[in-house]
């Protein structure tokens, strides 16, 4: 029997954009494709549209399943669906693969029409505001004048915040979960190690590995292993793995000894065989560059001076990557602008990854906020 | 004018051990050399001897300078010297390069007398208790029956603790700084990423890179960059670098953008050109395996059941690698055995590296403890 709260089968769609996009770096994308999915039905003026922005390794497949793979639940299938916190019985929900991605939207592995070869290292660096511009064009394409809400976690939350700054009249509500007003220097440092792992992999070939028929698996694997540690809390790792041994006793060698090693290597291997290394680099740079206060002498309140949306800001106690203190910075800056802000700090032991998990309190908070929209 | 608190020039010495050493893994080292330095003078019965144990990247050169390089101050030159907290006017201080090291003691780069080639991958995994055994043999060699104190920070602190367990009658005082009763699973995870960076570097050649006349610099560089992040606190990095840009403005590329990237890459490059990759692997494994409670069903108090020394346990508030909570576990286990324990938690913003820094309170605590020894 089908789950009554499941969206069921979904089919990705694609939109082509022929107007050149001038990026923050000054580089120009002459044309590009964006792959997206939609869930639920638009109302007459499409004012019930909700945009879901994805994080580092996410994509447009937010909810439901693809027919070719019954195990292919979207990455936020627990949050988006009929009767779920982001209720597709009410909202017309859109997931989009960001520009520079590796799941169908134009990215480093796409063919550059000018050269007939993959962009590779020539794909320009894209920033959070570039993504918001490309998402606004997708909204135009879909006939959406104003989103009921733009929602995202982590890097996705940064995009949601940027929407409020770049297009204040096109978004009524912003939901920023496990996000931050910028990366800490420690976060940048972790990103740099991950990038150096990829950039120095001999199979990277300066980003043009496609032409050599190899992928820099070693580097991408290390990047993912490292990232994974920072997504979890020390406590959640301790509860899940502790100092548990894979084979029950010490082997005094370099094969897997502790269970955590087995888990991390498996996660790294899996990711390295699926994800594009150039996209990983791009995503980490977008994280590093996001800093709306930078153009306002570090004054985050002024950065939100143009914002008109209402906000829900959610953080998780055990998130040491984007800590609750960073969410409080956002809240303070929004309140300084006398904006309507709901703010919840969820007690959770799952670290940064909490935003992807089912937690009763967390889901209740998002559900209540979304239910109140437009009432 | 010479610094009156400096030890001045020191000359490393070497001792050869011909009795086979059976390691915890069951492997046997048929013979080996240990390189060491001494500072100060022994009293008649050498009861004023103090052993300093080094951490992951340390060595025997604890204090003073080498004649060939006036900039070659030992790694704990601020702590050890005439009139310094570990006062060489009173104590006969010994620094030793651990077995498996790369600064003169027998290690993976040494020639295996059985094969005439470097040990490489065949050098056995050594553990903290193996090191303590080899250090005990060095004490025999030097005619030291009982140390006034065994002192160490981080991995060095683990050795100091193991001395109290393995040779309770040969050490009167144990000073364990920024240490832990074992690694957390998060620490093991970071170590595993570092090891995987080295092990998967094509220049590693299964540990036998010496024969190929290359070194796995890329992997060792990544390992060091990652390690460095975990030695510092988020706060100290924020104070030192913040989100400061190397060239003042964004360049939207993969060259150094933020100052922290420049710093980490420099540290990584420097280390990779000096340190042996196999030694790095060994040291991280010794960290992973240290867990005296493991043989006592996880009961740390029972692990210290044989201990007779007095203890000084010091931790630093901003140390998230070996947090103050871990030091409190040690203190509790020692108190459960009704041992004499002094315990100080130093307020410091420098993270795990605090144990190497000059901090007035920290140095005063060590000085006071050492001054009371033997009085």
Chain segment B27-52, per-residue pLDDT in tens = 999 999 999 999 999 999 999 999 99
Integer Rg of chain A from CA:
20
Residue B237's pLDDT band (boundaries 50, 70, 90)?
A: very high
Q: Which residues of B touch A285 (CB under 8 A)?
A: 252, 254
* Contact between B148 and B45 (Cβ < 8 Å): no
The answer to whether the CB atoms of A268 and B196 lie below 8 A apart is yes
Condensed to tens digits (0 to 9), the pLDDT of residues A75-114 reads 999 999 999 999 999 999 999 999 999 999 999 999 998 8
Q: What pLDDT, on a 0 to 100 scale, did the predictor assign at position B69?
A: 81
The answer to whether the CB atoms of B218 and A195 lie below 8 A apart is no
- B319 catalytic? Reply is yes
Asked if the model's pLDDT at residue B3 lies above 80, the reply is: no
The one catalytic residue among B154, B236, B323, B348: B154
Distance between CA B361 and CA B348 in Å, rounded? 10
Asked if the model's pLDDT at residue B150 lies above 80, the reply is: yes
Condensed to tens digits (0 to 9), the pLDDT of residues A203-226 reads 999 999 999 999 999 999 999 999
The answer to whether the CB atoms of B226 and A226 lie below 8 A apart is yes
Tell whether the torsion through CA atoms of A333, B234, A262 and B181 is positive or negative: negative
Name which of B188, B218, B243 is nearest A182 (Cβ-Cβ).
B243
* Contact between B172 and B309 (Cβ < 8 Å): yes
Q: What pLDDT, on a 0 to 100 scale, did the predictor assign at position A191?
A: 98
Q: What pLDDT, on a 0 to 100 scale, did the predictor assign at position A327?
A: 98
In terms of Cα–Cα distance, which of A243, A259, A264, A236 is closest to A356? A236
The answer to whether the CB atoms of A193 and B241 lie below 8 A apart is no
Q: Residue written as tokens 């367990």?
A: B165
Which whole number is the average pLDDT over A182-199? 98
Mean residue pLDDT across chain A: 96
Residue A71's pLDDT band (boundaries 50, 70, 90)?
A: confident
Asked if the model's pLDDT at residue A139 lies above 60, the reply is: yes
Residue A4's pLDDT band (boundaries 50, 70, 90)?
A: confident
Name which of A188, A190, A202 is nearest B258 (Cβ-Cβ).
A188
A112 min Cα distance to partner chain B (Å): 19
Residue B299's pLDDT band (boundaries 50, 70, 90)?
A: very high
Distance between CA A363 and CA A368 in Å, rounded? 8
Which whole number is the average pLDDT over A349-372? 97
The b-or-e profile of B182-220 (16+ CB within 10 A means b, else e) is bbbbbbbbbbbbbbbbbbbbebbeebbbbeeeebbbbbb
Interface mutation target, options B196, B205, B264, B324, chain A, most CBs of A under 10 Å: B196
Which whole number is the average pLDDT over B347-374? 96
Residue B141's pLDDT band (boundaries 50, 70, 90)?
A: very high
Q: What pLDDT, on a 0 to 100 scale, did the predictor assign at position A359?
A: 97
Name which of B189, B243, B268 is nearest A260 (Cβ-Cβ).
B189
Distance between CA B46 and CA B36 in Å, rounded? 17
Asked if the model's pLDDT at residue B6 lies above 90, the reply is: no
The answer to whether the CB atoms of A192 and B27 lie below 8 A apart is no
* Contact between A254 and A226 (Cβ < 8 Å): no
Q: What pLDDT, on a 0 to 100 scale, did the predictor assign at position A67?
A: 86
At A111, give phi and psi (nearest 5°).
Answer: -75, 125
Q: What pLDDT, on a 0 to 100 scale, did the predictor assign at position A375?
A: 60
Residues sharing a CB contact under 8 Å with residue A176, sequence separation 6 or more, in sequence order: A152, A157, A158, A160, A161, A311, A312, A313, A314, A327, A330
Q: What pLDDT, on a 0 to 100 scale, did the predictor assign at position A1?
A: 42
Residue B182's pLDDT band (boundaries 50, 70, 90)?
A: very high
Q: What pLDDT, on a 0 to 100 scale, did the predictor assign at position B88?
A: 97
Tell whether the torsion through CA atoms of A185, A190, A195 and A200 is positive or negative: positive
Name which of B125, B221, B242 is nearest A253 (Cβ-Cβ).
B125
Residue B1's pLDDT band (boundaries 50, 70, 90)?
A: very low
Distance between CA B293 and CA B165 in Å, rounded? 11
Helical H segments across A290-323, by residue range: 300-303
- Pick the residue from chain A with its C-alpha nearest to B207: A254
Q: What pLDDT, on a 0 to 100 scale, did the predictor assign at position A68?
A: 77
For residue A104, the Cα-to-chain-centroid distance in whole angstroms is 16
The answer to whether the CB atoms of A193 and B225 lie below 8 A apart is yes
Which whole number is the average pLDDT over B91-107? 98
B328 min Cα distance to partner chain A (Å): 17
Which whole number is the average pLDDT over B333-352? 97
Asked if the model's pLDDT at residue B2 lies above 60, the reply is: no
In this predicted structure, which of A363-372, B4-13, B100-109 has the lowest mean pLDDT? Answer: B4-13
Distance between CA A280 and CA B81 in Å, rounded? 50
Dig out the tokens for B308 from the structure.
């007779």
Integer Rg of chain B from CA:
20
Asked if the model's pLDDT at residue B364 lies above 70, the reply is: yes
């Amino acid at each position: 029997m089908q789950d009554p709260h499941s969206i069921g089968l979904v089919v990705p769609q694609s939109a082509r954009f022929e107007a050149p996009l001038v990026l923050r770096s000054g580089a120009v994308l002459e044309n590009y494709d964006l792959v997206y999915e939609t869930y639920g039905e638009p109302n007459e003026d499409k004012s019930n549209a909700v945009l879901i922005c994805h994080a580092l390794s996410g994509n447009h497949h937010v909810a439901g399943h693809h027919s070719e793979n019954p195990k292919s639940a979207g990455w936020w299938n627990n949050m988006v669906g009929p009767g779920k916190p982001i209720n597709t019985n009410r909202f017309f929900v859109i997931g989009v693969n960001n520009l520079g991605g590796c799941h169908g939207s134009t990215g480093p592995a796409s063919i550059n029409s000018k050269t007939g070869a993959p962009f590779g290292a020539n794909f320009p660096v894209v920033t959070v505001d570039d993504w918001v511009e490309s998402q606004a064009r997708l909204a135009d394409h879909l006939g959406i004048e104003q989103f009921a809400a733009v929602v995202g976690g982590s890097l996705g939350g940064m995009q949601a915040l940027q929407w409020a700054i770049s297009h204040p009249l096109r978004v009524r509500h912003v939901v920023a979960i496990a996000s931050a007003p910028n990366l800490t220097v420690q976060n940048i440092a972790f990103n740099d190690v991950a990038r150096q792992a990829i950039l120095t992999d001999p199979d990277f070939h300066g980003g043009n590995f496609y032409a050599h028929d190899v992928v820099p698996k070693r580097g991408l694997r290390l990047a993912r292993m490292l990232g994974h540690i920072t997504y979890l809390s020390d406590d959640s790792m301790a509860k899940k793995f502790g100092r548990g041994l894979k084979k029950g006793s010490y082997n005094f060698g370099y094969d897997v000894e502790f269970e955590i090693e087995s888990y991390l290597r498996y996660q790294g291997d899996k990711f390295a065989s699926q994800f594009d290394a150039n996209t990983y680099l791009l995503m980490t740079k977008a994280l590093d560059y996001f800093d709306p206060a930078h153009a306002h002498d570090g004054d985050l309140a002024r950065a939100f001076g143009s914002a008109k949306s209402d906000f829900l800001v959610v953080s998780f106690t055990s998130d040491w990557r984007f800590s609750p203190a960073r969410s409080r910075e956002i809240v303070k800056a929004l309140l300084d602008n006398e904006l309507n802000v709901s703010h919840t700090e969820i007690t959770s032991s799952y670290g940064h990854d909490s935003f992807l998990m089912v937690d009763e309190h967390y889901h209740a908070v998002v559900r209540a906020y979304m239910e109140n929209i437009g009432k």
